[in-house]
Structure 1
Amino acid sequence: MTDAVARVARAARLLVALDFDGVLSPLVTDPMAARATPEAKRAVAALMDAPGVTVAFVSGRALGDLRVIAEHDDASRVWLAGSHGAEHWRPGAGQLRADDDTDPADADEIRESAEAAAAAFEGAWIEAKRYGFALHTRTSPDGIEPRAQAAIDELMRTAAPAWRRRDGKHVLEFAWRHEGKDVAVAELRRVTQADAVVFAGDDVTDEDALRSLEEGDLGIRVGPGETAASLRVADPGELAAVLTRLASLRAS
Protein backbone atom coordinates (compact mmCIF):
# COMPACT_ATOMS: atom_id res chain seq x y z
CA MET A 1 0.00 0.00 0.00
CA THR A 2 2.77 2.43 0.94
CA ASP A 3 4.50 2.00 -2.41
CA ALA A 4 1.29 2.32 -4.45
CA VAL A 5 0.17 5.48 -2.65
CA ALA A 6 3.62 7.05 -2.79
CA ARG A 7 3.84 6.37 -6.53
CA VAL A 8 0.53 8.00 -7.43
CA ALA A 9 1.23 10.89 -5.04
CA ARG A 10 4.08 11.99 -7.32
CA ALA A 11 1.75 12.91 -10.23
CA ALA A 12 1.86 16.60 -11.12
CA ARG A 13 -1.94 16.85 -11.36
CA LEU A 14 -3.91 14.25 -9.42
CA LEU A 15 -7.62 13.44 -9.60
CA VAL A 16 -9.07 11.64 -6.56
CA ALA A 17 -12.49 10.29 -7.56
CA LEU A 18 -14.54 8.58 -4.85
CA ASP A 19 -17.83 6.77 -4.68
CA PHE A 20 -19.81 7.88 -1.62
CA ASP A 21 -22.01 5.13 -0.14
CA GLY A 22 -19.90 2.40 1.43
CA VAL A 23 -16.74 4.37 0.66
CA LEU A 24 -16.93 7.67 2.53
CA SER A 25 -20.12 6.73 4.39
CA PRO A 26 -21.11 3.39 5.93
CA LEU A 27 -24.03 1.68 4.18
CA VAL A 28 -27.29 2.58 5.92
CA THR A 29 -30.91 1.44 5.63
CA ASP A 30 -32.27 4.90 4.81
CA PRO A 31 -30.37 6.15 1.73
CA MET A 32 -30.84 9.81 2.61
CA ALA A 33 -29.38 9.28 6.10
CA ALA A 34 -25.92 8.51 4.69
CA ARG A 35 -23.14 10.90 5.72
CA ALA A 36 -19.38 10.77 5.42
CA THR A 37 -17.58 9.69 8.56
CA PRO A 38 -15.63 12.38 10.45
CA GLU A 39 -12.37 10.69 9.38
CA ALA A 40 -13.45 10.71 5.73
CA LYS A 41 -14.44 14.37 5.92
CA ARG A 42 -11.04 15.30 7.33
CA ALA A 43 -9.25 13.26 4.66
CA VAL A 44 -11.23 14.90 1.85
CA ALA A 45 -10.56 18.35 3.30
CA ALA A 46 -6.83 17.59 3.49
CA LEU A 47 -6.78 16.42 -0.12
CA MET A 48 -8.58 19.56 -1.31
CA ASP A 49 -5.93 21.66 0.42
CA ALA A 50 -3.07 19.66 -1.09
CA PRO A 51 -1.37 21.16 -4.17
CA GLY A 52 -2.40 19.90 -7.58
CA VAL A 53 -5.28 17.72 -6.34
CA THR A 54 -8.89 17.69 -7.57
CA VAL A 55 -11.43 15.72 -5.52
CA ALA A 56 -14.64 14.38 -7.08
CA PHE A 57 -17.51 12.25 -5.82
CA VAL A 58 -18.72 9.80 -8.48
CA SER A 59 -22.00 8.22 -7.44
CA GLY A 60 -25.05 6.42 -8.69
CA ARG A 61 -27.11 8.87 -6.66
CA ALA A 62 -29.08 11.56 -8.45
CA LEU A 63 -27.10 14.78 -8.30
CA GLY A 64 -29.55 16.52 -5.95
CA ASP A 65 -29.52 13.62 -3.49
CA LEU A 66 -25.73 13.37 -3.70
CA ARG A 67 -25.41 17.02 -2.74
CA VAL A 68 -27.64 16.44 0.30
CA ILE A 69 -25.80 13.41 1.67
CA ALA A 70 -22.38 14.90 0.86
CA GLU A 71 -23.39 18.15 2.62
CA HIS A 72 -22.28 19.90 -0.53
CA ASP A 73 -23.01 23.59 -1.13
CA ASP A 74 -22.29 26.08 -3.92
CA ALA A 75 -19.02 27.12 -2.30
CA SER A 76 -17.66 23.56 -2.28
CA ARG A 77 -14.49 22.73 -4.23
CA VAL A 78 -15.51 19.06 -4.64
CA TRP A 79 -16.56 18.10 -8.18
CA LEU A 80 -19.62 15.86 -8.53
CA ALA A 81 -20.73 13.22 -11.02
CA GLY A 82 -24.19 11.89 -10.18
CA SER A 83 -26.43 9.25 -11.75
CA HIS A 84 -23.36 7.18 -12.72
CA GLY A 85 -21.96 10.13 -14.67
CA ALA A 86 -25.12 11.38 -16.40
CA GLU A 87 -25.17 14.53 -14.20
CA HIS A 88 -22.28 16.84 -13.35
CA TRP A 89 -21.55 19.74 -10.97
CA ARG A 90 -18.33 21.75 -11.19
CA PRO A 91 -16.94 24.46 -8.94
CA GLY A 92 -17.56 27.87 -10.48
CA ALA A 93 -20.02 26.49 -13.03
CA GLY A 94 -22.62 24.65 -10.95
CA GLN A 95 -24.80 21.98 -12.48
CA LEU A 96 -24.18 21.20 -16.14
CA ARG A 97 -27.22 20.41 -18.29
CA ALA A 98 -27.13 17.70 -20.94
CA ASP A 99 -28.60 18.50 -24.34
CA ASP A 100 -30.56 15.21 -24.42
CA ASP A 101 -31.97 15.41 -20.90
CA THR A 102 -35.58 14.56 -21.85
CA ASP A 103 -37.44 11.84 -19.96
CA PRO A 104 -39.16 9.05 -21.91
CA ALA A 105 -42.92 9.59 -22.12
CA ASP A 106 -43.64 6.40 -20.18
CA ALA A 107 -41.03 6.85 -17.42
CA ASP A 108 -43.51 7.73 -14.66
CA GLU A 109 -45.81 4.87 -15.66
CA ILE A 110 -42.93 2.40 -15.52
CA ARG A 111 -41.88 3.63 -12.07
CA GLU A 112 -45.46 3.27 -10.82
CA SER A 113 -45.62 -0.29 -12.16
CA ALA A 114 -42.35 -1.08 -10.38
CA GLU A 115 -43.71 0.37 -7.12
CA ALA A 116 -46.81 -1.82 -7.42
CA ALA A 117 -44.68 -4.91 -8.09
CA ALA A 118 -42.32 -4.21 -5.18
CA ALA A 119 -45.21 -3.69 -2.76
CA ALA A 120 -45.91 -7.43 -2.87
CA PHE A 121 -42.59 -8.19 -1.14
CA GLU A 122 -41.90 -7.45 2.51
CA GLY A 123 -39.19 -4.85 3.05
CA ALA A 124 -38.83 -4.10 -0.68
CA TRP A 125 -39.35 -0.56 -1.93
CA ILE A 126 -38.70 1.60 -4.98
CA GLU A 127 -36.53 4.71 -4.91
CA ALA A 128 -37.36 7.17 -7.70
CA LYS A 129 -34.15 8.35 -9.37
CA ARG A 130 -33.48 11.10 -11.89
CA TYR A 131 -33.14 8.69 -14.80
CA GLY A 132 -35.07 5.66 -13.59
CA PHE A 133 -35.56 3.86 -10.30
CA ALA A 134 -33.91 1.46 -7.85
CA LEU A 135 -35.36 -1.53 -6.02
CA HIS A 136 -34.08 -1.70 -2.42
CA THR A 137 -34.22 -4.96 -0.48
CA ARG A 138 -31.77 -4.35 2.38
CA THR A 139 -34.53 -4.74 4.99
CA SER A 140 -36.29 -7.70 3.34
CA PRO A 141 -36.38 -11.05 5.18
CA ASP A 142 -34.23 -13.89 3.89
CA GLY A 143 -35.42 -15.27 0.58
CA ILE A 144 -37.40 -12.19 -0.43
CA GLU A 145 -34.68 -10.35 -2.37
CA PRO A 146 -34.32 -12.81 -5.29
CA ARG A 147 -38.09 -13.02 -5.70
CA ALA A 148 -38.53 -9.24 -5.66
CA GLN A 149 -35.68 -8.76 -8.15
CA ALA A 150 -37.12 -11.45 -10.42
CA ALA A 151 -40.49 -9.66 -10.44
CA ILE A 152 -38.89 -6.33 -11.40
CA ASP A 153 -36.73 -8.02 -14.02
CA GLU A 154 -39.82 -9.58 -15.58
CA LEU A 155 -41.61 -6.23 -15.60
CA MET A 156 -38.67 -4.46 -17.26
CA ARG A 157 -38.17 -7.13 -19.91
CA THR A 158 -41.58 -6.15 -21.24
CA ALA A 159 -41.93 -2.49 -20.25
CA ALA A 160 -38.43 -1.13 -20.98
CA PRO A 161 -35.97 -3.68 -22.37
CA ALA A 162 -33.59 -0.92 -23.51
CA TRP A 163 -33.08 0.54 -20.03
CA ARG A 164 -29.70 -0.23 -18.43
CA ARG A 165 -29.79 -2.73 -15.56
CA ARG A 166 -27.31 -2.46 -12.68
CA ASP A 167 -26.80 -4.76 -9.69
CA GLY A 168 -25.62 -3.50 -6.33
CA LYS A 169 -25.57 -4.45 -2.66
CA HIS A 170 -29.25 -5.22 -2.03
CA VAL A 171 -30.10 -2.80 -4.85
CA LEU A 172 -31.30 -3.38 -8.40
CA GLU A 173 -31.36 -0.26 -10.57
CA PHE A 174 -32.77 0.53 -14.01
CA ALA A 175 -32.08 3.72 -15.97
CA TRP A 176 -32.78 4.98 -19.47
CA ARG A 177 -29.43 6.79 -19.49
CA HIS A 178 -26.55 4.38 -20.11
CA GLU A 179 -23.55 6.33 -18.80
CA GLY A 180 -21.25 4.45 -16.44
CA LYS A 181 -18.67 5.51 -13.90
CA ASP A 182 -15.92 4.70 -16.39
CA VAL A 183 -17.26 7.49 -18.62
CA ALA A 184 -17.55 9.82 -15.63
CA VAL A 185 -13.92 9.25 -14.60
CA ALA A 186 -12.69 9.68 -18.18
CA GLU A 187 -14.50 13.00 -18.47
CA LEU A 188 -13.16 14.19 -15.11
CA ARG A 189 -9.65 13.18 -16.14
CA ARG A 190 -9.98 15.11 -19.40
CA VAL A 191 -11.41 18.30 -17.91
CA THR A 192 -9.01 18.43 -14.95
CA GLN A 193 -6.05 17.42 -17.16
CA ALA A 194 -5.05 14.91 -14.51
CA ASP A 195 -1.78 13.03 -14.94
CA ALA A 196 -3.00 10.24 -12.64
CA VAL A 197 -6.28 9.13 -11.07
CA VAL A 198 -7.15 7.50 -7.76
CA PHE A 199 -10.58 5.89 -7.79
CA ALA A 200 -12.20 4.15 -4.81
CA GLY A 201 -15.44 2.16 -4.86
CA ASP A 202 -17.18 -0.66 -3.04
CA ASP A 203 -19.78 -2.11 -5.40
CA VAL A 204 -20.34 -3.78 -8.76
CA THR A 205 -21.09 -0.48 -10.50
CA ASP A 206 -17.69 0.87 -9.41
CA GLU A 207 -15.90 -1.88 -11.31
CA ASP A 208 -16.61 -0.07 -14.61
CA ALA A 209 -14.39 2.76 -13.38
CA LEU A 210 -11.80 0.49 -11.78
CA ARG A 211 -11.38 -1.51 -15.00
CA SER A 212 -10.94 1.72 -16.98
CA LEU A 213 -7.95 2.98 -14.97
CA GLU A 214 -4.66 3.42 -16.79
CA GLU A 215 -1.05 2.69 -16.00
CA GLY A 216 0.05 5.01 -13.23
CA ASP A 217 -3.43 5.24 -11.71
CA LEU A 218 -4.53 3.62 -8.44
CA GLY A 219 -7.77 1.68 -8.00
CA ILE A 220 -9.01 0.94 -4.47
CA ARG A 221 -11.77 -1.54 -3.57
CA VAL A 222 -13.47 -0.92 -0.24
CA GLY A 223 -14.66 -4.20 1.27
CA PRO A 224 -15.05 -7.68 -0.24
CA GLY A 225 -15.93 -8.78 -3.77
CA GLU A 226 -14.21 -9.45 -7.07
CA THR A 227 -12.34 -6.41 -8.26
CA ALA A 228 -10.00 -4.93 -10.83
CA ALA A 229 -8.50 -2.69 -8.14
CA SER A 230 -4.84 -3.09 -7.22
CA LEU A 231 -5.45 -2.15 -3.57
CA ARG A 232 -8.15 -3.34 -1.16
CA VAL A 233 -9.15 -1.82 2.18
CA ALA A 234 -11.66 -3.23 4.64
CA ASP A 235 -13.97 -0.29 5.23
CA PRO A 236 -14.39 3.52 5.05
CA GLY A 237 -12.14 3.90 8.07
CA GLU A 238 -9.21 2.21 6.34
CA LEU A 239 -9.87 4.20 3.16
CA ALA A 240 -9.82 7.44 5.15
CA ALA A 241 -6.37 6.45 6.46
CA VAL A 242 -5.12 5.87 2.89
CA LEU A 243 -6.53 9.21 1.72
CA THR A 244 -5.00 10.98 4.71
CA ARG A 245 -1.62 9.44 3.86
CA LEU A 246 -2.00 10.54 0.24
CA ALA A 247 -2.80 14.11 1.32
CA SER A 248 0.24 14.12 3.61
CA LEU A 249 2.54 12.99 0.82
CA ARG A 250 1.15 15.68 -1.52
CA ALA A 251 1.67 18.37 1.09
CA SER A 252 5.26 17.39 1.87
Structure 2
Amino acid sequence: MRFSSVEGEQRYQALVRVASRSVVGLDFDGTLSPIVDDPTRAHIHPDAPEVLVDLAQEVAAIAVITGRPARQALDLGGLEEVGDALDAAGKELYVFGQYGNERWSSRHRRIVGARPPRGLATFERDLPRALRTAGASEAYVEDKGLAVAVHTRRLPDPEGAFDRLLPSLRALADRHGLVLEPGRSVIEVRSAGSHKGMVVERLAADLGAEGFLFAGDDLGDVEAFEALEALGDGGLATLRVCSASDEQSALIALSDVVVHGPAGVLELLGGFAADARAVRR
Protein backbone atom coordinates (compact mmCIF):
# COMPACT_ATOMS: atom_id res chain seq x y z
CA MET A 1 0.00 0.00 0.00
CA ARG A 2 1.34 3.41 -0.95
CA PHE A 3 -0.27 6.67 0.10
CA SER A 4 -0.13 9.33 -2.58
CA SER A 5 0.51 12.07 -0.02
CA VAL A 6 0.42 12.92 3.66
CA GLU A 7 -3.17 14.01 3.07
CA GLY A 8 -3.98 10.55 1.73
CA GLU A 9 -2.77 8.94 4.94
CA GLN A 10 -4.76 11.45 6.97
CA ARG A 11 -7.89 10.60 4.97
CA TYR A 12 -7.33 6.91 5.71
CA GLN A 13 -7.11 7.58 9.45
CA ALA A 14 -10.21 9.78 9.35
CA LEU A 15 -12.16 7.04 7.58
CA VAL A 16 -11.03 4.44 10.12
CA ARG A 17 -12.56 6.59 12.88
CA VAL A 18 -16.01 6.55 11.20
CA ALA A 19 -15.77 3.04 9.72
CA SER A 20 -18.99 1.81 11.33
CA ARG A 21 -20.91 4.55 9.53
CA SER A 22 -19.10 4.17 6.22
CA VAL A 23 -19.77 2.47 2.90
CA VAL A 24 -17.14 0.51 0.96
CA GLY A 25 -17.64 0.54 -2.82
CA LEU A 26 -15.67 -1.78 -5.09
CA ASP A 27 -15.28 -2.18 -8.82
CA PHE A 28 -15.22 -5.80 -10.03
CA ASP A 29 -12.78 -6.35 -12.92
CA GLY A 30 -9.23 -5.42 -11.98
CA THR A 31 -10.27 -4.68 -8.40
CA LEU A 32 -11.93 -7.81 -7.01
CA SER A 33 -11.16 -10.01 -10.02
CA PRO A 34 -7.91 -10.23 -12.00
CA ILE A 35 -8.09 -9.07 -15.62
CA VAL A 36 -8.16 -12.10 -17.93
CA ASP A 37 -8.38 -12.61 -21.70
CA ASP A 38 -11.86 -14.18 -21.48
CA PRO A 39 -14.21 -11.89 -19.50
CA THR A 40 -16.55 -14.82 -18.84
CA ARG A 41 -13.80 -16.39 -16.71
CA ALA A 42 -13.01 -13.36 -14.56
CA HIS A 43 -13.63 -15.04 -11.22
CA ILE A 44 -13.28 -13.16 -7.98
CA HIS A 45 -9.95 -13.41 -6.13
CA PRO A 46 -10.10 -16.51 -3.89
CA ASP A 47 -9.44 -14.47 -0.73
CA ALA A 48 -12.19 -11.94 -1.46
CA PRO A 49 -15.22 -13.64 0.17
CA GLU A 50 -13.45 -14.06 3.51
CA VAL A 51 -12.09 -10.51 3.45
CA LEU A 52 -15.48 -9.01 2.55
CA VAL A 53 -17.30 -10.93 5.27
CA ASP A 54 -14.72 -9.79 7.83
CA LEU A 55 -14.88 -6.20 6.58
CA ALA A 56 -18.66 -6.17 6.85
CA GLN A 57 -18.39 -6.46 10.63
CA GLU A 58 -16.76 -3.02 10.72
CA VAL A 59 -18.65 -0.95 8.11
CA ALA A 60 -22.24 0.03 7.39
CA ALA A 61 -22.50 -1.64 3.96
CA ILE A 62 -20.49 -2.99 1.03
CA ALA A 63 -21.37 -2.31 -2.62
CA VAL A 64 -19.93 -3.82 -5.78
CA ILE A 65 -20.33 -1.22 -8.54
CA THR A 66 -19.46 -2.58 -11.96
CA GLY A 67 -19.97 -2.17 -15.67
CA ARG A 68 -20.78 -5.87 -15.88
CA PRO A 69 -24.36 -7.12 -15.83
CA ALA A 70 -25.34 -7.70 -12.22
CA ARG A 71 -26.03 -11.40 -12.82
CA GLN A 72 -22.50 -11.92 -14.18
CA ALA A 73 -20.93 -10.24 -11.16
CA LEU A 74 -23.07 -12.28 -8.79
CA ASP A 75 -22.12 -15.56 -10.46
CA LEU A 76 -18.43 -14.88 -11.08
CA GLY A 77 -18.00 -13.44 -7.60
CA GLY A 78 -20.06 -15.93 -5.64
CA LEU A 79 -21.63 -12.79 -4.25
CA GLU A 80 -24.97 -14.33 -3.34
CA GLU A 81 -23.13 -16.52 -0.83
CA VAL A 82 -21.24 -13.48 0.44
CA GLY A 83 -24.59 -11.73 0.78
CA ASP A 84 -25.91 -14.64 2.87
CA ALA A 85 -23.02 -14.20 5.29
CA LEU A 86 -23.54 -10.45 5.48
CA ASP A 87 -27.26 -10.89 6.11
CA ALA A 88 -26.46 -13.21 8.99
CA ALA A 89 -24.34 -10.42 10.45
CA GLY A 90 -27.11 -7.87 10.01
CA LYS A 91 -25.34 -6.08 7.15
CA GLU A 92 -26.25 -5.60 3.49
CA LEU A 93 -24.38 -6.26 0.26
CA TYR A 94 -25.33 -4.25 -2.82
CA VAL A 95 -24.46 -5.07 -6.42
CA PHE A 96 -24.93 -2.33 -9.00
CA GLY A 97 -24.52 -3.67 -12.52
CA GLN A 98 -24.09 -1.87 -15.85
CA TYR A 99 -22.93 1.38 -14.20
CA GLY A 100 -25.93 1.52 -11.91
CA ASN A 101 -28.63 0.60 -14.42
CA GLU A 102 -29.16 -2.68 -12.53
CA ARG A 103 -29.45 -3.12 -8.77
CA TRP A 104 -29.43 -6.16 -6.48
CA SER A 105 -29.16 -6.40 -2.72
CA SER A 106 -28.73 -9.29 -0.31
CA ARG A 107 -31.93 -8.21 1.41
CA HIS A 108 -34.24 -8.15 -1.63
CA ARG A 109 -32.53 -10.78 -3.84
CA ARG A 110 -33.95 -9.53 -7.11
CA ILE A 111 -32.20 -7.73 -9.95
CA VAL A 112 -34.03 -4.55 -10.87
CA GLY A 113 -32.96 -3.14 -14.22
CA ALA A 114 -33.73 -0.62 -16.89
CA ARG A 115 -34.83 -1.28 -20.46
CA PRO A 116 -32.21 -1.40 -23.25
CA PRO A 117 -31.46 2.13 -24.46
CA ARG A 118 -32.87 3.43 -27.70
CA GLY A 119 -30.30 3.18 -30.44
CA LEU A 120 -28.51 0.11 -29.08
CA ALA A 121 -30.10 -2.31 -31.55
CA THR A 122 -29.18 -0.15 -34.55
CA PHE A 123 -25.68 0.36 -33.15
CA GLU A 124 -25.25 -3.43 -33.02
CA ARG A 125 -26.52 -3.68 -36.60
CA ASP A 126 -23.84 -1.23 -37.79
CA LEU A 127 -21.05 -2.58 -35.59
CA PRO A 128 -19.72 -5.39 -37.87
CA ARG A 129 -18.96 -2.91 -40.66
CA ALA A 130 -17.07 -0.66 -38.21
CA LEU A 131 -15.04 -3.64 -37.01
CA ARG A 132 -14.16 -4.67 -40.56
CA THR A 133 -13.14 -1.13 -41.49
CA ALA A 134 -10.79 -1.01 -38.49
CA GLY A 135 -9.29 -4.42 -39.30
CA ALA A 136 -10.73 -5.85 -36.07
CA SER A 137 -13.40 -8.25 -37.30
CA GLU A 138 -12.23 -10.90 -34.84
CA ALA A 139 -12.71 -8.70 -31.79
CA TYR A 140 -14.89 -10.30 -29.14
CA VAL A 141 -18.27 -8.55 -28.96
CA GLU A 142 -20.06 -8.93 -25.63
CA ASP A 143 -23.80 -8.20 -25.60
CA LYS A 144 -24.66 -7.08 -22.06
CA GLY A 145 -28.32 -6.46 -22.73
CA LEU A 146 -28.13 -2.79 -21.77
CA ALA A 147 -24.73 -2.21 -23.41
CA VAL A 148 -22.25 -3.65 -25.91
CA ALA A 149 -18.57 -4.19 -25.14
CA VAL A 150 -15.93 -4.74 -27.81
CA HIS A 151 -12.85 -6.53 -26.45
CA THR A 152 -9.52 -6.34 -28.30
CA ARG A 153 -7.41 -8.28 -25.77
CA ARG A 154 -7.50 -11.53 -27.79
CA LEU A 155 -6.37 -9.89 -31.05
CA PRO A 156 -2.73 -10.14 -32.25
CA ASP A 157 -2.21 -6.39 -31.68
CA PRO A 158 -4.67 -5.45 -28.89
CA GLU A 159 -3.45 -1.88 -28.43
CA GLY A 160 -3.32 -1.13 -32.14
CA ALA A 161 -6.82 -2.49 -32.69
CA PHE A 162 -8.10 -0.51 -29.71
CA ASP A 163 -6.60 2.72 -31.07
CA ARG A 164 -8.10 2.14 -34.52
CA LEU A 165 -11.53 1.29 -33.16
CA LEU A 166 -11.89 4.04 -30.59
CA PRO A 167 -12.64 7.00 -32.92
CA SER A 168 -14.91 5.02 -35.25
CA LEU A 169 -16.94 3.49 -32.40
CA ARG A 170 -17.17 6.89 -30.70
CA ALA A 171 -18.62 8.37 -33.89
CA LEU A 172 -21.00 5.43 -34.27
CA ALA A 173 -22.13 5.75 -30.65
CA ASP A 174 -22.74 9.47 -31.08
CA ARG A 175 -24.81 8.78 -34.18
CA HIS A 176 -27.10 6.49 -32.20
CA GLY A 177 -27.38 8.69 -29.09
CA LEU A 178 -25.16 6.48 -26.92
CA VAL A 179 -22.03 7.09 -24.83
CA LEU A 180 -18.68 5.36 -25.14
CA GLU A 181 -16.61 4.13 -22.19
CA PRO A 182 -13.02 3.03 -22.93
CA GLY A 183 -11.30 0.57 -20.62
CA ARG A 184 -8.50 -1.98 -20.54
CA SER A 185 -8.52 -3.36 -24.08
CA VAL A 186 -12.29 -2.90 -24.14
CA ILE A 187 -14.62 -0.27 -25.54
CA GLU A 188 -18.12 -0.21 -24.09
CA VAL A 189 -21.12 1.56 -25.58
CA ARG A 190 -24.20 2.21 -23.44
CA SER A 191 -26.86 4.75 -22.57
CA ALA A 192 -25.98 8.02 -20.88
CA GLY A 193 -28.42 7.32 -18.05
CA SER A 194 -26.05 6.42 -15.23
CA HIS A 195 -22.43 6.15 -14.13
CA LYS A 196 -20.58 4.99 -11.04
CA GLY A 197 -20.37 8.48 -9.58
CA MET A 198 -24.15 8.71 -9.48
CA VAL A 199 -24.30 5.37 -7.66
CA VAL A 200 -21.78 6.59 -5.07
CA GLU A 201 -23.73 9.80 -4.46
CA ARG A 202 -27.05 7.95 -4.20
CA LEU A 203 -25.70 5.31 -1.81
CA ALA A 204 -24.08 7.89 0.45
CA ALA A 205 -27.36 9.82 0.65
CA ASP A 206 -29.67 6.80 1.03
CA LEU A 207 -27.55 5.25 3.81
CA GLY A 208 -26.71 8.49 5.58
CA ALA A 209 -23.03 7.62 5.29
CA GLU A 210 -20.37 9.56 7.17
CA GLY A 211 -17.58 7.98 5.16
CA PHE A 212 -17.03 6.30 1.80
CA LEU A 213 -14.16 4.23 0.42
CA PHE A 214 -14.14 3.37 -3.26
CA ALA A 215 -11.60 1.14 -5.03
CA GLY A 216 -11.31 0.99 -8.80
CA ASP A 217 -8.79 0.46 -11.56
CA ASP A 218 -9.92 1.99 -14.83
CA LEU A 219 -11.41 4.97 -16.67
CA GLY A 220 -14.93 3.79 -15.85
CA ASP A 221 -14.17 4.56 -12.20
CA VAL A 222 -13.20 8.21 -12.73
CA GLU A 223 -16.72 9.48 -12.03
CA ALA A 224 -16.77 7.55 -8.73
CA PHE A 225 -13.49 9.19 -7.71
CA GLU A 226 -14.87 12.60 -8.69
CA ALA A 227 -18.02 11.94 -6.65
CA LEU A 228 -15.86 11.11 -3.63
CA GLU A 229 -13.96 14.36 -4.06
CA ALA A 230 -17.26 16.28 -3.96
CA LEU A 231 -18.49 14.29 -0.95
CA GLY A 232 -15.21 15.00 0.81
CA ASP A 233 -15.62 18.71 0.16
CA GLY A 234 -19.04 18.37 1.80
CA GLY A 235 -17.59 16.91 4.98
CA LEU A 236 -17.61 13.12 4.45
CA ALA A 237 -14.51 11.09 5.23
CA THR A 238 -13.47 9.62 1.88
CA LEU A 239 -10.71 7.43 0.48
CA ARG A 240 -9.96 6.79 -3.21
CA VAL A 241 -8.07 3.55 -3.79
CA CYS A 242 -6.41 2.77 -7.13
CA SER A 243 -5.90 -0.87 -8.03
CA ALA A 244 -2.92 -0.23 -10.31
CA SER A 245 -1.42 -2.54 -12.92
CA ASP A 246 1.36 -2.51 -15.48
CA GLU A 247 -1.14 -1.71 -18.26
CA GLN A 248 -3.39 0.89 -16.66
CA SER A 249 -2.56 3.90 -14.49
CA ALA A 250 -5.37 6.32 -15.32
CA LEU A 251 -6.52 6.66 -11.69
CA ILE A 252 -3.17 7.00 -9.96
CA ALA A 253 -3.11 10.81 -10.08
CA LEU A 254 -6.64 10.94 -8.58
CA SER A 255 -5.99 8.46 -5.78
CA ASP A 256 -5.27 8.69 -2.07
CA VAL A 257 -3.88 5.15 -1.95
CA VAL A 258 -2.29 3.01 -4.66
CA VAL A 259 -2.15 -0.79 -4.38
CA HIS A 260 -1.23 -3.48 -6.89
CA GLY A 261 -4.20 -5.37 -8.28
CA PRO A 262 -6.91 -7.34 -6.47
CA ALA A 263 -4.46 -8.86 -3.99
CA GLY A 264 -3.39 -5.36 -2.97
CA VAL A 265 -7.00 -4.20 -2.65
CA LEU A 266 -7.85 -7.12 -0.38
CA GLU A 267 -4.76 -6.55 1.74
CA LEU A 268 -5.80 -2.92 2.21
CA LEU A 269 -9.40 -3.88 3.08
CA GLY A 270 -8.17 -6.45 5.58
CA GLY A 271 -5.90 -3.88 7.19
CA PHE A 272 -8.69 -1.32 7.24
CA ALA A 273 -11.00 -3.78 9.03
CA ALA A 274 -8.28 -4.54 11.59
CA ASP A 275 -7.58 -0.85 12.20
CA ALA A 276 -11.30 -0.10 12.57
CA ARG A 277 -11.65 -2.99 15.02
CA ALA A 278 -8.75 -1.68 17.09
CA VAL A 279 -10.30 1.78 17.29
CA ARG A 280 -13.69 0.34 18.24
CA ARG A 281 -12.17 -1.61 21.10
TM-score scaled by length of structure 1: 0.88
Check if 1:107 corresponds to 2:114.
no
Q: Is the 8 A contact 1:47 1:53 kept in 2?
A: no
1:147 aligns with 2:164: yes
Cα RMSD for the two superposed structures: 2.2
Cα distance in 2, alignment partners of residues 236 and 31 from structure 1: 16
Task: Indicate the SS of the match to 1:217.
Answer: strand
How far the C-alpha of 1:34 sits from its partner, in A, is 0.8
One-letter code aligned to 1:156 = A
Asked whether the equivalents of residues 96 and 103 of structure 2 are also in contact (C-alpha less than 8 Å), the reply is: yes
Question: Does 2:268 align with 1:242?
Answer: yes
Distance in 2 between the 1:243 and 1:70 partners? 17
Alpha carbons 1:124, 1:148 under 8 Å: kept = no
Compare 168-177 and 198-207 and name the one that shifted more. Answer: 168-177
Shift of the alpha carbon at 1:232?
1.1
Name the residue aligned to 2:243. 222
C-alpha contact 1:127 1:134 (8 A) present in aligned 2: yes
Counterparts of 1:194 and 1:125 in 2: how far apart (Å)? 40
State whether residues 118 and 126 of structure 1, in contact with CA within 8 Å, keep that contact through their aligned partners in structure 2.
no
C-alpha displacement at 1:106, in angstroms? 4.8
Distance apart, 1:43 and its partner CA? 1.7
Q: 2:149 aligns with which of 134, 141, 155?
A: 134
- Cα distance in 1 for partners of 2:112, 2:136 equals 37
168-177 or 20-29: bigger deviation: 168-177
Secondary structure at the aligned position of 1:95 is classed as coil
Q: How does 1:43-62 map to 2 (within 5 A)?
A: 43-48=51-56, 50-62=57-69
Moved more, 137-146 or 191-200: 137-146
1:67 alignment partner in structure 2: 74
Q: 1:235 offset after TM fit, Å? A: 1.8
Contact 1:6 1:246 in 2 (8 A): no
TM-score computed with the length of structure 2 as normaliser: 0.80
Deviation at 1:116, TM superposition (A): 4.9
Q: Is the 8 A contact 1:164 1:178 kept in 2?
A: no
CA deviations on 1:201-223 (whole Å, 9 max, x unpaired) are 00011010011113221111111
Alignment partner, residue 25 of structure 2: 17
Alpha-carbon distance between aligned partners in 1 of 2:137 and 2:115, rounded to the nearest angstrom: 33
**Structure 1 SS opposite 2:47:** helix
Do the aligned partners of 2:116 and 2:145 also contact (CA within 8 Å) in 1?
no
Change (3 A) 1:211 1:157: closer
Conservation of the 8 A alpha-carbon contact between 2:139 and 2:151: yes
In 2: Cα distance, 1:189 partner to 1:73 partner:
23
Structure with more of its chain in helix, by fraction: 2
